[in-house]
Structure 1
Amino acid sequence: MSHPLLATKDLTVRFGGHVAVDAISCVFPAGELTAIVGPNGAGKTTYFNLISGQITPTAGSVQVAGEEISRLPVARRAERGIGRAFQLTNLFPNLTVFENVRLVIQSKAKKGFDLFSMADDHVQIREDADQVLQNVNLLAQRDTIVSALPHGDQRKLEVAMLIALDPLIYMFDEPTAGMSADEAPVVLELIEQLKNDQTKCVLLVEHKMDVIRTLADRIIVLHNGALVADGDPSTVMSSSIVQEAYMGKALGHVE
């Protein structure tokens, strides 16, 4: 029996008497980009944190390809195939662009980068890192210190590091936050390329409905920590309950 790439079952977390995520059961198959939307405080980022391991659930489970991972730490979940990009960039600011990507490739390959490791491995790691930078149009900035990069290029680098990790599940938390109108399309194009890989799935927390319309195969809506809608974009966005309570009748922005 085949399993979905990612699944949560009755996933719940309580902080004191507050239920932040309330028994969410959801399946995420390969080859699909799911947008997760809802009002501020709906539980979107908390749900992400439960999946990627920043928070331990009070109840319920997270499974990757049928394997229970709910009690694994973040690093072990990454080994199982979960890759996460944050709303605020999560980079090594004092290293170069190239070194950031190289470290991810080394970590995935479980290889050191010292005088005693094989020279051929060094060459392959460098070539792989340069190829990733080429794919995200950052090769010209390979030797730039990350802290000197514009914000848009830092977001591109974060996507590059996720690509270098080569996870089964890509998780993006407001990937265009703080980006200008000129910068955002580059990152969105990269995400669109990732969703075309039918062996992976993409989860996207996003407020901008134009982004969701462009990228999403499916939308799930959270409210007060609960799953209240799940379906294709046209069905979910045309729901009167969702329009009035969660997206606003104009469907221009999710608050």
Structure 2
Amino acid sequence: MVSSTTATPALETRGLTVRFGGHVAVNDVSCRFTPGTLTAIVGPNGAGKTTYFNLISGQLRATSGQVVVAGEDITRLSASARTRRGLGRAFQLTNLFPQLTALENVRLAVQSRADAGWSMLRVWNARRDLIDKAESVLERVRLADKRHVAPKALSHGDQRKLEVALLIAMEPKVFMFDEPTAGMSVDEVPTVLELIHDIKERRDATVLLVEHKMDVVRSLSDRIIVLHNGTLVADGEPAAVIASPVVQEAYLGVEAARG
């Protein structure tokens, strides 16, 4: 088991549960996520992974249990308030302003983080520091040459990179990636994985990653937790979790068992 008892966790769920009628989608999940680590959340389809993310980020209200960020109970806060407390989430489908340029998308995130409001022009034109910050973020995600291109004209891979840029601009304590490589071509996947790896290597934030590709999980994670039918069934270092016969056979599938 991976222990995080020696440090205040960046994120913690305590007995987190949600019921839809008689169905328990997430069942009493308690986890602590240590600053500077990347945890992969895996399990079969319908295991509760995205629902667990929705409970953490505030898209769903828990039936019971708590979500705690840096020691603060945020269970009753809205999704937007949780973002202000340091949760940053990328969704399975990209969530961008399609009519704005890549630069305009990022600068809105920069303005929000700086509490400079959401004016399209006034604040932006008056604050060179915000412009420089947005430009720097685009450089970091390898999109500087597409700063004036709207997301709708970008490839799916570049849209994913832009979504990572928005998260970086918000400077969250916790990055949450829900299947970030879904729908990408083989050529597009490495760049997005490099960006996630870069966030991890800086060790100044916590990363949660829902991902089905076990080669990605192996290469990036410090820890793996496994959900099945909404219940936490395994939690530990990647090699130990992947080597567990019950996890290989029942939860991670043929790819992991043969890997």
Query: What's the TM-score, normalizing by structure 1?
Result: 0.95
- 1:22 corresponds to which of 27, 37, 50: 27
- Please identify runs of 4+ aligned residues in structure 1 that moved more than 6 A: none
Q: Which whole-Å deviations, capped at 9, do the CAs of 1:87-133 have from their partners, x for residues lacking one?
A: 110000111000000000111111134776596x5211111100100
1:128 aligns with 2:124: no
Match of 1:41 in 2: 46
Match of 2:244 in 1: 239
Aligned CA-pair RMSD: 1.8
Match of 2:186 in 1: 181
Match of 2:70 in 1: 65
Distance 1:117 1:223, change over 3 A: closer
Give, in angstroms, the shift of residue 248 of structure 1: 2.3
DSSP-derived class of the 2:197 partner: helix
* CA–CA distance in structure 2, aligned partners of residues 249 and 239 of structure 1: 13
> Aligned letter for 1:207?
H
Contact 1:22 1:226 in 2 (8 A): yes
Contact 2:124 2:130 in 1 (8 A): no
- 1:150 corresponds to which of 137, 148, 155: 155
Alignment map for 1:75-224 (pairs within 5 Å)? 75-112=80-117, 113=119, 117=123, 121-224=126-229
Q: What is the identity percentage for the equivalent residue pairs of Structure 1 and Structure 2?
A: 60
Choose 161-170 or 192-201, whichever is displaced more: 192-201
Give, in angstroms, the shift of residue 38 of structure 1: 0.3
Contact 2:248 2:257 in 1 (8 A): no
Give, in angstroms, the shift of residue 196 of structure 1: 1.4
DSSP-derived class of the 1:161 partner: helix
1:248 aligns with 2:256: no
Distance 1:118 1:229, change over 3 A: closer
> Aligned letter for 2:167?
L
Contact 2:224 2:238 in 1 (8 A): yes
Give, in angstroms, the shift of residue 199 of structure 1: 2.5
> Aligned letter for 1:225?
G
Query: What's the TM-score, normalizing by structure 2?
Result: 0.94
Distance 1:166 1:118, change over 3 A: closer
Structure 2 spans left out of the alignment, 5+ residues: 1-5
Q: How many residues align?
A: 253
